[in-house]
Amino acid sequence: MHVKTYFVLIFFGLWARSTIAQMPFSSQEATDLQKRAKGIEIVKDTYGVPHVYAKTDADAVFGLMYVQCEEFFDKVEASLISRLGRTAETEGESAIYRDLWSRMFIDSTQAIQLYKKTPDWLKKLCDAHAAGINYYLITHPAVKPKLLTRVEPWMILMNNVPAMGGSNVSEADFKAFYLKEANQNPTVSRSFTAEPPKNDGSNGWALAPSRTKSKKAMLFINPHAEYYGRIEIQVVSDEGLNSYGAPFLGQFNLFQGFNEFCGWMHPVSLSDAKDLYAEDVEKKKGKWMYRYNGVWKPVDSTVIDVRYKKGTGWATRKFVTYRTHHGPVVYATATRWITLKTFEPNIELLGMHWLKMKARNLKEFTAAINARAMVGSNVVYADKAGNIAYWHGNFVPRKNPLLDWKRPVDGTTSATEWQGTHELTEIPHYINPANGWLQNCNSTPLYGAGELSTEMLKLPAYMLPDGHTPRAVHAVRVLTPLKNATMDDVIAASYDTYLPSGERFIPSLIAAYQSITNDSLKTKLAQPIDILQKWDFKTDTNSVATTLTVHWLEKIIALDMARLPKPATTEEQYSLTNGAAVTTEFLSPMEQVTALAQVVTELEKEFGTWQVAWGTDNRFQRIAESDPSDDKLSWGVPATPGFMGSLNAYVSKKTAKTHKRYGITGNTFVAAVEFGDKLRAKTILTGGSSSDPASPHYTDQVNGYITGQYKEIYFYKDDVYKHAEKIYHPGDN
């Protein structure tokens, strides 16, 4: 035995005996996990990107989870805690209703039963998921979890709780219904205070060989999300796994990614299986009943105790929750209780994501997604054989096409029930379209191949709830002329500086300015209007016109929303806040001009002048405590929010302590992939691969992130070793 290895084993044994009393692991478990870890190799390349090599898929998952914990243990734990419905135990009373929501859809008892039913091959991956996290805890005794000192294999199966806002339910309305602890008389809500979606979204593109210089298919993966919620990683096993991409922290599938044969991208879709039902309820003989097909049926009730942190101790809030055959009651109107019907195939969803990671061609990939277990996401695909494809949604129920499914439908009749499931071939889709490219930017599939698809217009309206977003308009504009494209051309197209909403709205503002007779306003705004008149509708860090327009349009969107009836659901609200339905048509010239005057005044207050370059106002900053500061290092960013039509959607926000705006969501893991005889890909990650401020990989990707100068990845093992910065086994460091 090597002397160094000998002393490491002695140290490990002494450490295990001295700390096992504080950790929920036996010495045998620790020893077994250590032996397992020795068969897993992690190679971090010169960008800090980890590559995990293992004999089995399960061991690759072990290594994947260990690496996630190395960089973002707090976020991995928070993801699991949220899934368990136990966030209030770490955050206190403010999280009670989020926990209640989660527990109404699945609890630990149900998850344990699901685990028992899980196929053996998938159960091994669940076991490995827990083992990788647990081994990190064992080998890092200085890390103090907020709540979870041990992860169990069944926890990953609590992976399919629908998002509250994404389910057309606001937390305010949900809370109003379940507000009373005793809950004998649930509170009617319905002011509809849905939280507006962030102006970000995602872009997915696929180019056929007819459009590329190499005559190979390309995929562009461009999710926009909250920063630092995923990592860039490659996982490889001797069982045929070799995938590169980005998992959500706490999960073991690469949600966006590729292997040597094909790649996948999942933009969020409004085409989903989350529907609201309006229930007719009455209290009869002290028990809640609901009417269905003329018969009164009992409302099911379940008591849920939510534990929460209170001061230095704990408290518990008891809730009586309600459910009909449609699903849990999630809020109420003046006359009806509203239930949420959704689809929760936890085992199938987990398996589907893993199988598509190992698909080698269109047939295998289609077979994987034909599980139809994914709700609320589209699929963009490209492969080595030159195929490109798109599916608008995955699990889409058959519904009455005459009903408005963005709003609650009548729950008193079987006429509104789902009537089975659409096949993949029945939902909006494209396979190898003649134009040679596909796009989706959280948008309608009607323009997925550029031209309006008249055939898709014949499909049921519930399949086509999404609008033609400003980002989709921009995508069609840059993809239509793209020929003989290289990966760099595709990346450059995604950074195109043209802003469709600038060209759409600024002429209206200029006309409004010219029509008003208020001399003081005319004088105040003469110079800003002059700058806007000369603007070419392109953004850059020196552009004052971009600053004026972004701030102004934010106010116009607020005014536009205020004049409309309150949206009934988050789906209706999304169509407003994403910019597709914004209009100045119903705003008076004075309202438009006054909004610009307010922008000028606010900029003067914050900066001492209204002539503020966009890069001065709009900043990227990466700091460990996530507390932006004008006094700390930051970079100017030319990208704008999605409502401007910026493909590189960048959402920045001013805080009470800052004058400038700092990014909170935008590009996370982005990849341009070419499927040739040998795979090539260029990627970028927000900031860098490391979460350690002392690491050179904390901000080494910032400039490329801002300018679109992406790094070429190392995919093949020989290349990875040639560019290895660190090679180790889990637990070595």
Element (H, E) at 556: helix 544-563
Catalytic status, residue 202? yes
Single out the residue of 73, 53, 55 nearest to residue 65, CA to CA. Answer: 73
Cα–Cα distance between 384 and 432 in angstroms, integer?
13
Nearest Cα residue to 321 out of 339, 308, 333? 339
Could you give the count of Cα atoms lying within 13 Å of 200 in the half-sphere of its Cβ?
A: 21
Contact assessment for residue 612 and residue 547, using Cβ atoms and an 8 Å cutoff: yes
In sequence order, which residues have a C-beta less than 8 Å from that of residue 569 and are 6 or more positions away?
Answer: 168, 192, 194, 276, 406, 407
Does the annotation place 171 within a ligand binding site?
yes
Query: Residues 495, 498, 499, 502: what is their CA dihedral angle, to the nearest 10 degrees?
Result: 160
423 is in an annotated binding site: no
Q: Is 275 annotated as a binding residue?
A: yes
Question: Which residue in this structure is represented by tokens 């990627």?
Answer: 683
- Residue 27's H or E segment, with its range, is helix 27-37
Phi, psi of 298 (to 5 degrees): -70, 140
Whether the Cβ atoms of residue 450 and residue 481 lie closer than 8 Å to each other: no
Dist CA 200 CA 650 (whole Å): 7
Q: Is 672 helix (H, G, I), strand (E, B) or coil?
A: strand
Query: Is residue 597 within 8 Å of residue 520, measured between CB atoms?
Result: no
129: tokens are: 């998921």
Separation between Cα atoms, residue 480 and residue 486, nearest integer Å: 15
Which is nearest to 270 in space by CA: 389, 167, 421? 167
Question: Tokens standing for 151?
Answer: 């992860």
On whether the CB atoms of residues 674 and 212 are closer than 8 A, the answer is yes
Judge whether 634 and 615 are in contact, CB under 8 Å: no
* C-alpha torsion 386→390→391→392, nearest 10: 180
**Interacting residues of 14 by C-beta distance below 8 A, sequence separation 6+:** none
Amino acid letter for position 678: K
The catalytic residue among 202, 237, 271, 691 is: 202
**Cα–Cα nearest to 358, from 248, 250, 238:** 238
What letter would DSSP give residue 630? T
* Number of other CB atoms surrounding residue 308 within 10 Å: 20
Kindly give the interhelix angle for 96-105 and 57-84, rounded to the nearest 10 degrees.
120
- Cβ-in-10-Å burial (0-12, 13-18, 19+) of 607 comes to middle
Active site residues: 202
Question: Can you say which residues are annotated as belonging to the binding site for Ca(2+)?
Answer: 171, 272, 275
Question: Can you say which residues are annotated as belonging to the binding site?
Answer: 171, 272, 275
